[in-house]
Structure 1
Amino acid sequence: MKRTTPLAIVLAGTTALATPVLAQEQALSLGEIVFEVQGAEPVGDVAAPFTLSGVKTATPITEVPQSVSVIGRETFEEQHPNKVDEVLRDVAGVQSQLYGYDSDTNWFYIRGFNSFDTGAFLDGLSLFSYGFGTFYIDPFLLERIEVLKGPASMLYGASSPGGIVNYVSKLPDGSEGSSITTGADTEGRAWVSGEAAGVMGDDLSYRFGAKITRQDGHGMFEEGYEGVLFAGATKAFDDGSRLTLHLSHTDMDESHVGGQFLPIYGTEYEAPFGYFDDYFNAGDPESDEYDRSQTIATGIYRTTVGGWELTDTFRLGRADVEETYLYANGFTSGQVPTENADVSRIVFAHDSEATIAQNDLRLTREVVTGAVTHDVLLGLDMRRYSLDETQFSSEGFARGTALDPADPEYGADQPALTNAYIDGVRTQEQVGLYAQDQLRFGNWITTLNARYDWVWSDFDNRIGVDLDRKDEAFSGRVALAYDFGSVTPYVTAGTYFNPQSLDVAVAEDADPETGRQVEVGVKWQPNEYSLVTLAAFDIVREDVSQTFVNGGFFDPQILGEVRSRGVEVEADLSLSEQFNLRAAYTAMDVEIAEFDGAPATVGKTPQSVIETLGSVELAYAPLAVQGLELRLGARYLGDSWADNDNTLAVGDTVLFDAGMSWDFAADWTADVNVTNLADERYTASCRTDFGTSSCWQGEGRVASFAVTRSF
């Protein structure tokens, strides 16, 4: 019997809801049109803005019964980050840039768990990724970033237990104005960007922009480029409904940066040759290519149907990524280098085309029963992800030519890429029904969630065994909070699930990942511009899989049960008219609780996970110089392990940052930023795959300068 896939349902729902046919037939007076999506509007100086993350209805952060952090566009405009994971460095509970500076991927763990593959969302819809079939989001496209910590399956379906990062697009919201920014940094990056927003008539708002970046430095063999375009429009109809359409395109053509996949000896530990140079590139200029072409189209339709507020968010996306690369794979003498040992290398290439189709239909309304007010949410969420990929290596995974770590010579002929060891189409489809009730009675706030998901995963393997499985699971959350006015304590308990990867080796018979979290916290908002959040959590993650590299093959294995317990503190305090303090601290205990395959690892910390993180930044705006802000900050990255057996330690480090923003003339702003002020040499993380360690050098000192002209 032919199965009707969720994609068909998604496309049918999108077609039906992309036009205002569900709106009330009777025309209403427009009055004052509000184009913006509440919970996705500019953050400004407000410390506890409304958010959609964690509840899917516009709710102040203080009333969301989990820890939530919001980073507004104002931070991007001050710091001019090249990537999203740069601004995640100061968020409690988040370990970002695990793999050093990587120009094409945003890497982050939340509460000790990898969250960049199933924890990345855009405008509330999952940017699910697998392998190299990823969607890259440039910070230029974003109005804000929201980090929801802890399980989120009760609203979003399959996702990371550590939490999610929701990217919020720059949407047309009725604002008017334009700007042009140009800048450069000491690593050779240079960029120019511009955007404009406005209204046409009484019922149409628009917003569009473009950015072109020259990428260089960080050990690249030659410069590359990235181009980003976006455009959006919001149309208001006579019946009060609104339709927003948003389109973005990203194009990248560059070579790989250095400091990646290096052996632990020479990176973290001294080798006979000493240490690798900064951004040592173990690749080769003759065998190095990275190209990405990506388009994402999103729509948001809002109307009223029979007393219910209806919101439908739908998306189509495509990312085509091609890559050729030589990467380091230990030494010719093994894990520990002997005198005169060279760096061993593997030749690798892939061609990956990922497509995604999604639809999230939500109905909300307020219901009053006696003294209790209910904010009711009902939803239907559907997603189809497909990855057509081919991965190549040299025949039999023969290594590429070795490289002298002290005096590398590039340009040698490499083995031909004749072996397609992965070739097929992976597909995952998800349908979820969910409900939420936020009950308010007196000062009490109770949040109840329930969701049921069906997930179909298959792999049409052109050279091997196919995969075809179905999973289904219930997830939920129960939370209670009490609003004292400026202080809101809360307690929450929730569950999550996440189907196993699309690898046949682990996914055919393995149960889906499941788990639970209990979180207790308090949120204190002494004034409009200040917020302090304290949270303690306990997450249990069961049936965890972890992928190792075994002789060149990706070998997923069931790791068992992992537990993460910890405390987070995050503060954004307006101390006076001149001083503002931001601080974050995370202390976790992450351990492998069960692992039948390797009992010696039980009680140990998973590789690459940093358990202690901290940051502080003081901003000073002298009254004597209007429009000037000076910033000084410090970041602490605790130690970690390069292996699950905890035999290879990676040391901790303290990094200092500084910045200045100055409105030096009417409509003119200059920004100067310096990260890793002391140019501290450190290792971002290491991991060990079947005896071979790989480490990533942390980013050294980078100074940038940018000027913005507003119109």
Structure 2
Amino acid sequence: MAAQTLAAETVTGNADVMVVIAQGEQNTTLPTGGMIAKQSAAGTKTQTPLVTTPQSITVVTRAQMDKQRVMSVSDAFNYSASVLPNYRGSSNRSDETIVRGFRYAPKFLDGLSFGLIGQGAGIGKIDPWLLERVELIRGPASVMYGQVDPGGTVIMTSKRPTAENIRHLQVSAGNKRLGEAAFDFGGVLNEDSALLYRLNVIASTRQQFVNDARQQRMAIAPALTWLPNADTSLTVLTSYQYDPEAGFRNFLPAYGTVFATNAGYIPYTLNVSDPNYYHSTREQVALGYIFEHSFNKAISVQQNLRYSQLHDNYKYLVYSTGGSATDTTLMRNQQRENIDADELGIDNQLKASFATHTVNHTLLAGLDYKWQKRNANFWRKTGDKYNFDWAHPRYGGAYLENDSDLPLARSAFKKLDQVGLYVQDQAVWQQWNLLLSGRHDWTEIRTYERTLNNAKRQSNDDDFTGRAALLYAFENGFSPYISYSTSFEPNLDSGIPGSPPFKPTTGEQTEVGMKFQPVGSDTLLTLSLFDITQKNITSWNSKLKFNEQIGKVESRGAEAELGTQITPALSLMSAYSYTEAETKESTNASTPAGNRPAATPRHMASAWGTYLVHNGPLAGLALGTGVRYIGSSYGDNKESFSVPHYILYDAMVSYDLGVASSQWKGAVLQINVNNLTDKHYVASCSNNEACFYGVGRSIIATVSYRW
């Protein structure tokens, strides 16, 4: 059956169409109906029970995102192990996350790359309302996805058409002048149920926690599925997102945030830029499809394709250096950035299920191609006239230059072509599960430096990545496993103009762990130990104002993650991680070997619980609460200072109005408060000139209606 119909069967009689929902295994592209997922296709590209997947994977369902009222994809991982989701606080324009000590986790949407990815963060940001689930693959995933970071990979799944009618309207308001309206419609379009649709729309506006900075968004995502027969499906996925106010991105000094000065601390909401010189917009458009066909019960094919464009503009005064215990003067630059990016991805898959004697095989073979191009321009002007006294802030004035008068500091055109050929075998013999995967990538990166007389740099690289994993599934629900995997990442970052291209970044990981899921239960416990080594890493040189390759880093640690539906009324999730990271080799004096990388807490822990009252006068009331602990971390790679640990509390209360009156059936009122105590804290520092305040208290009241 096509993927969209695995969980539903249509029976036509007379003029009526009856949809029967099967009570079987979860489909990884359809709503799970709860906060605990049991299936995932992220790690293997085949629908596999999480308990028998020999890799640490977190699934954040639509229900969890709704209960916790996440406002970004990075927020979805607030209660996941080994993830620092908002290390930049409210200065996070691109959903940058740090996983297992590595920045930044690349993002994939519906199996294809989302946003240009270098060793630095990918660009672009998708509204979580458009997503059915968000998953995190920990460790290298190059064997399935090609160009990725060894720390982890974010896998996003769009809301898909379903045979079940969906009518969902939602309106929200909150502090920081939050206003939001969204709807989600879906169902059958014709009598024989051959056409299904889904339409998601959202519009929102809110102030950020920095003065005079806003986020505004309008997004629409129409989708259509055609089922010409029981063996074939074609799903067209489109989206358009426009952010007329795309958010704030800047830096703060350690003095005034981590350390007190003679003037105290920098105000939590201070805008270190200038409201008179601020423009932040983003526009994204995407068009793609997923084609699936089953030749028989054993053999099927699938093709994913998407073309996307992104236009990003940002102009601001950026803090560069300055500030001390006795001096509150900061040096700033006036700069403007413009990025136009295009991306095409296609993934062809052949799947076969067969047996050799007593061994069952699920074989996957694939050929994918990725084409990306990025046209980036960067204007900047420096000088003492931009100096800013944060203790006595003054904005506006003759010191601001017209955009046309800013000198062009960097203009480059970069193009990436990548072809990958991969094969995977999931072999099952009795309780033994063996996973063997191999992939070879060929890449070509061409860079044209317009500011250097259109000088051309080209690098051609290829590499083999692999994965081998073994798991034993005991009948009592325990599944210990061991795995080894590698990664390959052509580097899209650039060094000093005129310097040779960077070498590809490679990584390898050994992971041992255990999963536990009692038979028939909605509980999944994952314990894992990992050891990751990454070579040819790059680091930002604050003196040169460019990246450089510095050597090798290692990250070792332990994780525990639990998700359980204890009773129909009570659910719980908790996570803990211990990460020991070290720079093993370095040629950069600011990143010495033997030290722990900045913004890498040793300890992180979280817990979230929800209780729903089923009976009595309070029936329909649900209460949720959570706590997040982020341990202390070094503020730079020299270990010269530390950023204190912090604890954040979240709360949720909702009430099903339909319990009180049948006239309100389907209506739910919900209030979420994140950072309940409005704690002021430093989220992280990367060096003395790159610290970030965390996000303040967020209050969101939501009324949703389903019919």
Partners of 2:289 and 2:20 lie apart in 1 by 19
Displacement after TM superposition at 1:188 (Å):
1.6
Task: Check whether the contact 1:348–1:392 (CA below 8 A) recurs between aligned residues.
Answer: yes
1:547 to 2:540 alignment: yes
Tell me which amino acid in the other structure corresponds to 1:194.
Answer: F
1:532 corresponds to which residue?
525
Per-residue CA deviations over 1:643-692 (Å, capped at 9, x if unaligned) read 1110021110111111112212211011111111111111011122xxx5
Displacement after TM superposition at 1:124 (Å):
1.1
1:41 to 2:30 alignment: yes
Displacement after TM superposition at 1:174 (Å):
1.8
Per-residue CA deviations over 1:495-536 (Å, capped at 9, x if unaligned) read 111112341549835431112101011111124311111011
CA 1:400–1:148: 2 relative to 1, 3 Å: farther
1:463 to 2:443 alignment: no
Per-residue CA deviations over 1:346-375 (Å, capped at 9, x if unaligned) read 111111101100100000011211011110
1:709 corresponds to which residue?
705
1:152 to 2:141 alignment: yes
1:410 to 2:395 alignment: yes
Map 1:428-577; keep pairs closer than 5 Å: 428-464=416-452, 465-485=455-475, 486-505=477-496, 508=500, 510-526=502-518, 527-550=520-543, 553=545, 555-577=546-568
Task: Check whether the contact 2:439–2:465 (CA below 8 A) recurs between aligned residues.
Answer: yes
SS at match of 2:44: coil
SS at match of 1:520: strand
TM-score, length-normalised on structure 2?
Answer: 0.91
Between 1:661-670 and 1:261-270, the stretch displaced more is 661-670
Displacement after TM superposition at 1:337 (Å):
4.5
Partners of 1:125 and 1:556 lie apart in 2 by 27
SS at match of 1:534: strand
Partners of 2:26 and 2:288 lie apart in 1 by 14
1:194 to 2:183 alignment: yes
1:668 to 2:655 alignment: no
1:627 pairs with one of 617, 620, 634: 620
Per-residue CA deviations over 1:323-352 (Å, capped at 9, x if unaligned) read 111122232xxx52434x422211111111
2:228 corresponds to which residue?
237
Task: Check whether the contact 1:291–1:321 (CA below 8 A) recurs between aligned residues.
Answer: yes
Task: Check whether the contact 2:103–2:121 (CA below 8 A) recurs between aligned residues.
Answer: no
Between 1:42-51 and 1:202-211, the stretch displaced more is 42-51
1:421 pairs with one of 402, 409, 428: 409
Task: Check whether the contact 2:422–2:439 (CA below 8 A) recurs between aligned residues.
Answer: yes
Tell me which amino acid in the other structure corresponds to 1:281.
Answer: N
Tell me which amino acid in the other structure corresponds to 2:352.
Answer: R
Per-residue CA deviations over 1:115-153 (Å, capped at 9, x if unaligned) read 34xx21101111233579722111011000011100001
Partners of 1:137 and 1:641 lie apart in 2 by 31
SS at match of 2:686: strand
1:677 to 2:676 alignment: yes
Query: In angstroms, what is the RMSD of aligned CA positions?
Result: 2.3
Tell me which amino acid in the other structure corresponds to 1:705.
Answer: A
SS at match of 1:45: coil
2:353 pairs with one of 354, 366, 377: 366
Task: Check whether the contact 2:104–2:121 (CA below 8 A) recurs between aligned residues.
Answer: no
1:586 pairs with one of 573, 577, 580: 577
Displacement after TM superposition at 1:619 (Å):
1.8
CA 1:102–1:180: 2 relative to 1, 3 Å: farther
Partners of 1:509 and 1:206 lie apart in 2 by 46
Q: Which consecutive residues of structure 1, in runs of 5 or more, have no partner in the other structure?
A: 1-29
Between 1:417-426 and 1:183-192, the stretch displaced more is 417-426
Displacement after TM superposition at 1:257 (Å):
3.9
Task: Check whether the contact 2:286–2:309 (CA below 8 A) recurs between aligned residues.
Answer: yes
CA 1:292–1:599: 2 relative to 1, 3 Å: closer
Per-residue CA deviations over 1:691-711 (Å, capped at 9, x if unaligned) read x52211011111111000112
Task: Check whether the contact 1:41–1:143 (CA below 8 A) recurs between aligned residues.
Answer: yes
CA 1:48–1:518: 2 relative to 1, 3 Å: same
Task: Check whether the contact 1:133–1:321 (CA below 8 A) recurs between aligned residues.
Answer: no
Map 1:134-153; keep pairs closer than 5 Å: 134-153=123-142
1:319 pairs with one of 310, 316, 321: 310
2:156 pairs with one of 150, 161, 167: 167
Tell me which amino acid in the other structure corresponds to 1:380.
Answer: L
Task: Check whether the contact 1:584–1:615 (CA below 8 A) recurs between aligned residues.
Answer: yes
Tell me which amino acid in the other structure corresponds to 1:98.
Answer: Y
How many corresponding residue pairs?
A: 668
Partners of 2:579 and 2:177 lie apart in 1 by 37
Per-residue CA deviations over 1:216-251 (Å, capped at 9, x if unaligned) read 141241655210111000001137211000111110
Per-residue CA deviations over 1:519-571 (Å, capped at 9, x if unaligned) read 011111124311111011000111111123336x3x11222110010000001
Partners of 1:406 and 1:96 lie apart in 2 by 30
1:23 corresponds to which residue?
none
Per-residue CA deviations over 1:86-108 (Å, capped at 9, x if unaligned) read 12111111111110013632121
Task: Check whether the contact 2:509–2:531 (CA below 8 A) recurs between aligned residues.
Answer: yes
Per-residue CA deviations over 1:57-115 (Å, capped at 9, x if unaligned) read 11111121100110111122223222111121111111111100136321211111013
Partners of 1:520 and 1:670 lie apart in 2 by 43
1:26 corresponds to which residue?
none
CA 1:495–1:680: 2 relative to 1, 3 Å: same
Tell me which amino acid in the other structure corresponds to 2:653.
Answer: M
2:377 corresponds to which residue?
390
1:636 to 2:638 alignment: no
Partners of 2:345 and 2:303 lie apart in 1 by 10
Partners of 2:56 and 2:501 lie apart in 1 by 35
CA 1:110–1:427: 2 relative to 1, 3 Å: same
Displacement after TM superposition at 1:385 (Å):
0.8
